[in-house]
Amino acid sequence: MNILILGAIFLINAFAIILVYQFVKKLPSKEKLIFIAVSLAIHYILITIVYWLSGLGKDQAIVDAASQFITYMFVPVNVILTIPFIANSYYKFKKEKLPKKKFINRCILMIVFAIIILIAEYFYFQSIQVGIADLMKTK
């Protein structure tokens, strides 16, 4: 069962990276690499912070029980939901097909969307931690 979960995590992460790559593949290699790396790093940091905040006041064993699984599952989901739109807008902006003002507005829109997603995930992570606590109590 663990192999299936690890395989699913690997596939969803690979899909997220490939999807972002499809939107930035026409950029120079250095920009491609930086865009993908920064996008993933920002999402890993944000998910880690949201998970940490959702676990405040809870037993550390409960919080630790699912932290890596949650992080590795939700980062690619958030990347898939937000980064392709930003990547496409960035590419158009670099090719001067999108004015700077519109590019900034699109980035702001995606930041607001990402904040809404993170707030929903905060409550979902709390729910997961309550479920873990209930499982630990029954043992």
**Tens-place pLDDT, residues 69-121:** 888 899 999 999 999 999 999 999 999 999 999 999 999 999 999 999 999 99
pLDDT score recorded for residue 12: 93
Backbone angles phi, psi at 25, to 5 degrees: -65, -20
Longest dimension (CA), the chain: 61
Q: Report the predicted TM-score, pTM, of the whole model to 2 decimal places.
A: 0.86
Query: Would you say how long the chain is, in residues?
Result: 139
Mean pLDDT across 22-51: 92
- Alpha carbons 37 and 40: distance in angstroms, whole number: 5
**Both structure tokens of 41:** 């790093």
Percentage of the chain exceeding pLDDT 70: 99
Q: Is 37:45 a contact under the CB 8 Å cutoff?
A: no
At 107-121, the pLDDT tens digits run 999 999 999 999 999
**Does residue 1 have a pLDDT over 70?**
no
- Alpha carbons 41 and 29: distance in angstroms, whole number: 18
Q: Is 43:118 a contact under the CB 8 Å cutoff?
A: no
pLDDT score recorded for residue 77: 93
